[in-house]
Structure 1
Amino acid sequence: MHATKRAHRIGGVPAFAFAFVAPTLIIMLGIVAVPLAYSAYLSLNRTNPITGKWIFVGLDNYTNILATYEYWTAFGRTGYFTGLAIVGTTVIGMVMALVLNERFPARGILRSVVLVPWAMAPVSVGVLWSFVLAGDYGALNGLLNDLGLGNWAQPWLGDGFRALNLLALVHIWNQAPLTALLLLSGLQSMPASLHRAAMVDGAGPITRFYSITLPWLKPSLLFIVILATMNALMAFDVLWNLTGGGPGTATTVLAWLGYQYSFKFLRFGEGAAILYMLTAISFVLAIVYFFVFRQKRTRTDATDALEVSHLSAERRHKMVVLPPYHSHPILPRQVTKTIGRAVFAVVAVVIFLWSALPVLSLIIMSLSPAPDLIRVPPSVIPTELTLANFKAVLMPQSAAGMETSILAQRIPMALINSFIVGACVSFIAVVLGTLAGYVFARYSKVRFFNISLWSLLVTRMTPGLTLVLPFFILFRGLGLLDTRTGLIIAHLIVLLPLAAWMMRGYFESVPVSLDHAALIDGCSRLDMMIRVLLPVVKPGLIAAGIFCFLVSWNEFLFAVILTSTPKAQTITVVLSGFLVQARFYEYGSLFAVSVLSIVPPIIVAFIFQRFLIQGALSGSIKG
C-alpha cells in the first residue's frame, strides 16, 4: 500500500511539499524579486533615454529627490490622503458590516448592491465621478438644480484642498465595501453565545461591541488596516482619471510623482528612487501595524474566543470580561426597540443610496442623448432614454447618423482581451495557488514554508508602480511589450499570492485525518488532492477564481504602461483613453463603455455575494 511506503524527505519534510510550492515561489521570484532588484539598481543610476547610456551615481538620486520641495509636499499629501482613506474605509466598512450581519428583508439585495462599487474597476470609478463632480454639467450640480438648490452648485474639483478630499472620498466609496466584506466574514464566524452571555450579564450593545466584537475582529482588522494602507499608498487609477494630479499639483501624491518622473519626464533613476522610497514606507507601516496589534492581544481576542465558545454557558459568563454595567432605562423598552429599528432602517437606506446612486447615475447617463449630457444648467432627468450609445460602441459600423471614433471601434476587441487575460491568469493562479496553499496549511510550522508564505504577502505590499518601471524596460528587451502574455505575467504579481493565501485558509478548515484516510486507502499524494481534497475545497476554488478574474479584469496600471495597440489593450485602457479623447457628442458612448466594463463584476457581485461572504473570505483571512 502507498501509505506504507516511506516518502522521500528533505530535512524531515516530504519532498512533494517542496514540489508543490516550487512553481509559485519560482514564478514570484522571477516576476517580483528580479524586477525589484533591477529597480533598485536603476535607482542608483542616471539614464539617458535617447542614447541609452547609464551613469552610476550611487545615492545621488535619493539625495536630490529628498532635497526638493515637491517631494515633501507630495509626501504630506500622501500622508493626509492615506490617513483619510484608512479611517474612512474602516469606519464606513464597519458600519456596513454590522448592518449586513443582521437579519432583515432584502438583506441579500443590499449585500449585492454594497459590493458593486468595489467590483467596479477604479478606472470606471474615475470616469463616473469625474462627470458626477464636473463643474459645468456634472450630475451632482444637476441634482442640486433639480432640487432647487442650484446656488450650491460649484466646480467641485476646482479648489485644490477640496479636490484632495473628494479624491479620498471617491477612493473610500470604492474600497469600503471590501472592508465590509472582510469584517462581515469575521462577524459571521463569531459564536452568538458570546453576545447572549453578555446580554444575560446586562451588557448593552455599545459595551458588547467594544468588549466582544472588536476583540474578535482584531486579527481581521490587522489585515484590513494593512490592506487599506497599501491600497491608499498605491492609489493610481482613480487619480489618473479623476484629477491627474491637479488642479496644479494639489492632488499629486508620491505614487503620481513617481509616475511623472518615470514616464512623463523619462528620468528613470529619480522615478525609481521615489517609488522605492514609497515601497519602504509601505513595509515600515506594515511592520508597525503588526507589532501594534500583536502587543495588545489578550485571552479574549479573536484567536481565543473560539475556545470560549465551546465552554458551558456558566463558564462563558465568567470568561467574558465586561466592565460593570447597570441598566438605567430612560424610555420604556418597547419604545427603545422601536427607535432602534427606525435608526437601523435609516442607516440601511443610507448605505443603499451611498452605494447605488452613483452607479444609477452612470446607467442613466449611458441611456441619455448627447445633448442632455452637456446642457446648462445641468439636470439629472433625461429628456428621453435611448440605446444609441450602446449601439455606437457595440456595432460602430452600423451606428447610422453618428460619427464613431476609433476608440469606440476598439471596444469589442478590448472586451475580448480582458476576458482572455483574466481567464488565463485566473487558471494559472488557482492551480498553482491550490498546490502551494495545501502545503502552507499542512506544514505551517515548518520554518521554510512559514517564511515563504509571509514572503508572498510581502509582495502584495510592494506598490505596483515600483515594479511597472522595470517591467517596462525588461519587457521591451524581451519582446513582451504590448502582448497578452506580458499582461498575464504582470497580473500574477497580485493574483498568485492572493490565490495561495485564500486556498491556504480553505485547506486549514479541512481535517488532516481526511488526508491520512485517503493515503491509507492507497491514494498517492496527487490522487488524494484530485479525488478527495479538491471536491471538499471546491467552493474555495470557485471563490479564488472569481476574485482573480475580477482583479485582472479591473487592473489598469500594468495594462496602460505595458500595452499600446488594440491587439493587447484591455477594456480599462480603452475606457481611460475614451475619457481623454471623447468629443462632446461621444459622452453618451463613453458612459455606455463604462457600463459595459462593469457588467461582469456586477453580475458576479449579485450572483456570488452570499457565497463569497460566507465561504471564501472567512478562509482567506484565517490565521
Structure 2
Amino acid sequence: MRIYGLRRGSQAPAFAYLSVAPTLLLMGAIVALPLGYSAFLSLSSTNPITKRWAFVGFQNYTKVLQSGDFWNSFGHTLYFAVLAVLGTTILGTLSALVLNQRFAGRGLLRSTVLVPWAMAPVSVGVLWSFIFAGDFGLLNALLNDIGLGSWRTAWFGSGFIALNIVALTQIWNLTPLTCLMVLSGLQSLPGNLVQAAILDGTGPVRRFFSITMPWIKQTLIFCMVISTIDAFMAFDIIWVLTRGGPGSSTTTLSWLGYLHSFQYMKFGEGAAILYILTFLSLGFALIYFFLFGRRATTSPKTPGTGNFATQPKQVRSRAILAPTKPLTARILSQTARRRLGRALHSFAVLAIALWSFLPVAMLVLISISPTADLIRTPPSLLPSALTLDNYKAVLFAEGGASVQSARVPQSLINSFVLGSIVAVLNVALGTLAGYGFARYGQRRFFALSLWGLLLSRMIPVLTLVLPFFVIFRTLGLLDTRLGLVIAYSTILAPLATWMMKASFESVPINLERAAFVDGCSRWTTFRKILVPVVRPGIVAAFIFCFLVSWNEFLFAAILTSSPSTQTIPVVIVGFLTQTYFYEYGPFFAATVLSILPPAAVAFFFQRYLVEGALAGATKG
C-alpha cells in the first residue's frame, strides 16, 4: 500500500484540505466580511439621523491623527501597556520559579494562583473598584482599622493614580497566564543541565541567567507579545473601573474608539481609531511570527527528554560554566545558606498566596456582610455580622427585588449554556483543523492559512462588534444565542485550532503510518486512533474556550438586550448603572457567583491548563 502525504515534499491528501476547510470558511464569514465592512465604515461618513452615507476616503484617519484626544489616548495606551507587560512578565516569571520548586501544598497554591486569571475582567474590575473606592473602599477601611485613617484618600480622584490602578488591576488579572506558561517551560527544562551547573559550583542567580533564561526565552517573548496585545485591547476593566476618567486620564485607544462609535455615533472616526489599533496589534503579531520563526535554532525538538547531547548549543555551552563561588558562599556557611534559602522561599510562597487569594477572599467577605456595613463611615474591614441575605436576594428574587437581582439566575444559565455550546463547537472544528495544520503546516496553503487564522486573533473585538451589530440587526440575529455563538467563535476558533495543532504535533507520525499499513482509512485513523491520543489536549482546549466564553463581555453587552440572552458579566455591569445603596450586597453576591464556575474549573483542572499552556507555548 502506498502512503501519501506523510513525507516531506509529498502531496497533501484531500482529507487534509477538508479538515481545515470548515474553520477557514467559518473565519472567512465571521471575520473577513465584518472586517471588510468595518474598513468601509472607516472610509465613509454617516449621519445617524438621516442614515445617509458618503465616501470620504482617508479623511477620517486624517481627522483622527490630527486630534489631540487621539494622541493623549495613544500615550495612555503605551504607558498602560508598558506597565502591564513589565508587571505580568516579572511577577509571572518570579511566581513560576517559586511554584516550580517542591514544597508542601504546591498543588493547592498552583490552583489558587490561577483563580485571578479565570475571573472575568468585569468581575476583576468590580473587586478592585471597591478596594480603591474613596468613601467605602477596602483599602481606606484597612487604613482606618490600623490607625492610619489620615492617609485615606479618593484614589480615583487623581488621573495619574487612576491610570496606575487600572494597570495594576490588569497585572493582577493576567499575571497567572504568564506564570502558567513559564511554569510549563520550566517543567520541560532537563534536570541534567541544572545538576551540571550545581556540581560546577554555580550559584542560583548565575544558573538562572545562564541556563533557565535561555531555555524559557521564547516562552517569555510569547508572553510579552500576548500581554502587549491584551493591553492594547483592554476594555472591560476600564469600563468598570473608570470609564476613561477622571476626565480623559484613563482613556486608551480602545475606549476612545468605543466612545466615537457608540456614544458620539461617529461611526467613521470610531472605525478609523479601531483600525489604527488593529494595525498596532497586527504589528506585534508580525513580531511574534518573526521571533518564533527562529524557534528551531534555540530550542530542542524534544524538550524535556533529559538528553544533554540533544540540547541547543547555546544552552549546552552555558551549562558548562567555570566554577565560580557565589557571594553568599563567601559570607555564609552552607547551613546558613540553606536556612536563608528556605526562609526566602517560604516568604515568596506566602506573598504569592496573599497576592492571589486575599483580594478574592475579601470579595467573598463583603458579599456575606450586611449592606449597611458596606456604606458606613468611617469604613472598616470587620463586618458587624455575617449574612446570606445577599445571596438569597439574587438566587431567590422576590417581587420587591431589583431588576438586576432578578436577572442573575437566568444570566448564569445563559453563560453556562452558551459557554458549553461555543466550546464544543470550536474544539470540534479546532481538532479537525489542528490535525491538518500540524501535519501539513509547511506547505504554502496551510502556512498562509494558519498565518491568517492567527492574525485574526489579534483583531480587537471592538473592530468587529460594530459591523456585527449592523449585520445581525439586518439578519434578525440581534439578541439571540446564535448571534453570540457566531461572535464568540471569532475569538475561540483560532485559540482552539492553535492548541490542537500543538497537541497533534506531539503525536509520532509512525502511529498513522502503522494504521495505514493495517488498512485504516484517514478518517478512521483520525477518529479511532489520533483523537483518543490527544484527548488531554482536547480537554485543555475545551477548558480554555469555556473560560474565555464565560468571561466575554463586550459582544454580549452590545449584541444582547433581554434577560433571555444576557450573560452574567452583562448583568453585573448592569448593577453599576442601577445600583442604589441597598443593592451593594446583592451586587457583590452576584459577582461572587459569577466567578465560582471559572474558579472551580481553574482550581480542579489546573493540570490540564498547565498541559495546554505547555502545548501552546513550547510547540512551534
- Give 1:25 deviation, angstroms: 0.4
Distance 1:155 1:7, change over 3 A: closer
Show the 5 A alignment for 1:285-364. 285-288=284-287, 290-291=289-290, 301-303=298-300, 306=303, 309-311=306-308, 319-320=317-318, 324-327=322-325, 329-364=330-365
Counterpart in 2 of 1:545?
542
Counterpart in 1 of 2:84?
85
CA contact (8 A) 2:187 2:304 kept: no
CA contact (8 A) 1:143 1:379 kept: yes
Tell me, in whole angstroms, the C-alpha distance in 1 between the residues paired with 2:3 and 2:299: 41
CA contact (8 A) 2:200 2:321 kept: no
Tell me, in whole angstroms, the C-alpha distance in 1 between the residues paired with 2:184 and 2:480: 38
CA contact (8 A) 1:44 1:60 kept: yes
Counterpart in 2 of 1:239?
238
Counterpart in 1 of 2:248?
249
Tell me, in whole angstroms, the C-alpha distance in 2 between the residues paired with 1:314 and 1:518: 32
Show the 5 A alignment for 1:430-445. 430-445=427-442
Q: Which moved more, 1:311-320 or 1:520-529?
A: 311-320
- Give 1:484 deviation, angstroms: 0.6
- Give 1:28 deviation, angstroms: 0.7
- Give 1:331 deviation, angstroms: 0.8
Q: Which amino acid aligns with 2:439?
A: R
Show the 5 A alignment for 1:91-490. 91-288=90-287, 290-291=289-290, 301-303=298-300, 306=303, 309-311=306-308, 319-320=317-318, 324-327=322-325, 329-397=330-398, 403-490=400-487
**Unmatched segments (≥5 aa) in structure 2:** none
Counterpart in 1 of 2:500?
503
Could you tell me the percent identity over the aligned residues? 55
Q: Give CA deviations for 1:234-293 in whole Å, capped at 9, x if unaligned.
A: 000010001110011110000000000000001000000000001111122333455467
- Give 1:12 deviation, angstroms: 2.0
Q: Give CA deviations for 1:378-410 in whole Å, capped at 9, x if unaligned.
A: 011111111100000010027xxxx41011111
Tell me, in whole angstroms, the C-alpha distance in 1 between the residues paired with 2:6 and 2:602: 45
CA contact (8 A) 1:108 1:610 kept: no
Tell me, in whole angstroms, the C-alpha distance in 2 between the residues paired with 1:313 and 1:507: 22
CA contact (8 A) 2:129 2:241 kept: yes
**Unmatched segments (≥5 aa) in structure 1:** none
Distance 1:171 1:6, change over 3 A: closer
Counterpart in 2 of 1:61?
60
Tell me, in whole angstroms, the C-alpha distance in 2 between the residues paired with 1:178 and 1:321: 28
Distance 1:256 1:324, change over 3 A: same
Counterpart in 2 of 1:617?
613
- Give 1:166 deviation, angstroms: 0.6
Q: Which amino acid aligns with 1:87?
A: L
Tell me, in whole angstroms, the C-alpha distance in 2 between the residues paired with 1:282 and 1:529: 35
- Give 1:8 deviation, angstroms: 14
Tell me, in whole angstroms, the C-alpha distance in 2 between the residues paired with 1:414 and 1:313: 53
- Give 1:618 deviation, angstroms: 1.0
Q: Which amino acid aligns with 1:234?
A: M
Show the 5 A alignment for 1:507-522. 507-522=504-519
Q: Give CA deviations for 1:464-483 in whole Å, capped at 9, x if unaligned.
A: 11111111111111111111
CA contact (8 A) 2:424 2:542 kept: yes
Q: Which amino acid aligns with 1:589?
A: P
Q: Which amino acid aligns with 1:30?
A: A
Q: Which amino acid aligns with 1:109?
A: L
Secondary structure in structure 2 of the residue aligned to 1:592? helix
Distance 1:605 1:152, change over 3 A: same
- Give 1:306 deviation, angstroms: 4.0
Counterpart in 2 of 1:591?
588
Q: Which amino acid aligns with 1:435?
A: L
Distance 1:520 1:291, change over 3 A: closer
**TM-score under structure 2 length normalisation:** 0.95
Secondary structure in structure 1 of the residue aligned to 2:54? strand
Q: Which moved more, 1:326-335 or 1:181-190?
A: 326-335
Tell me, in whole angstroms, the C-alpha distance in 2 between the residues paired with 1:313 and 1:430: 34
CA contact (8 A) 1:197 1:313 kept: no
- Give 1:119 deviation, angstroms: 0.3
Show the 5 A alignment for 1:523-542. 523-542=520-539
Q: Give CA deviations for 1:38-89 in whole Å, capped at 9, x if unaligned.
A: 1111100001112221111110001011111101000000000001011000
Q: Give CA deviations for 1:525-562 in whole Å, capped at 9, x if unaligned.
A: 12112211111111111111111001000000111011
Distance 1:287 1:491, change over 3 A: same
Tell me, in whole angstroms, the C-alpha distance in 2 between the residues paired with 1:542 and 1:314: 30
Tell me, in whole angstroms, the C-alpha distance in 2 between the residues paired with 1:354 and 1:612: 20
CA contact (8 A) 1:198 1:208 kept: yes
Q: Give CA deviations for 1:131-165 in whole Å, capped at 9, x if unaligned.
A: 11100011111111112221221111110000000
Secondary structure in structure 2 of the residue aligned to 1:320? helix
* Structural RMSD (CA): 2.2
- Give 1:319 deviation, angstroms: 3.5
- Give 1:214 deviation, angstroms: 1.3
Counterpart in 1 of 2:36?
37
Secondary structure in structure 2 of the residue aligned to 1:46? strand
Tell me, in whole angstroms, the C-alpha distance in 1 between the residues paired with 2:290 and 2:606: 33
Counterpart in 1 of 2:600?
603
Q: Which amino acid aligns with 1:64?
A: K
- Give 1:208 deviation, angstroms: 1.2
Q: Which amino acid aligns with 1:60?
A: Q
Counterpart in 2 of 1:571?
568
CA contact (8 A) 1:115 1:605 kept: yes
